Amino acid sequence: MTKSVFTEKYNLFRLLLIETRNSKKLTQAQVAKRLQKPQSYVSKYERGERRLDVVEFLEKALALGASPCEFLRKLEEHTSAEDCTRQ
């Protein structure tokens, strides 16, 4: 079984987190402050060096001021479109 941190879908998840942060005009340092973590923490999960679980994702989404449901819907739309282009 492939670890999800190394899949294209996880990579898309990571890129959507970055896109969401950028769309909210937030720096990694600002997000880290909201999470009460060092900036390197945000950098590590954005680069894929640290994997997020569901509970951590919810915390990150809220810190970004994003709806977790909308974020997941967007991820699903992107992955569904990606799956269709491969067939």
Q: Which two tokens stand for residue 21?
A: 């942060």
Band of residue 82 on the pLDDT scale cut at 50, 70, 90: low
- The C-alpha atoms of residue 31 and residue 10 are separated, in whole angstroms, by 20
- What pLDDT does residue 7 have? 87
What DSSP line would sit under 50-80, residue for residue?
Answer: S---HHHHHHHHHHHT--HHHHHHHHHHHHH
- What pLDDT does residue 80 have? 78
Q: pTM for the complete prediction?
A: 0.83
- The C-alpha atoms of residue 59 and residue 53 are separated, in whole angstroms, by 10
| Domain spans in the chain, listed from the N-terminal domain onward | 4-86
Q: Specify the CATH number of the domain 4-86.
A: 1.10.260.40
Mean pLDDT along residues 16-31: 98
pLDDT by residue (tens digit) across 26-44?
Answer: 999 999 999 999 999 999 9
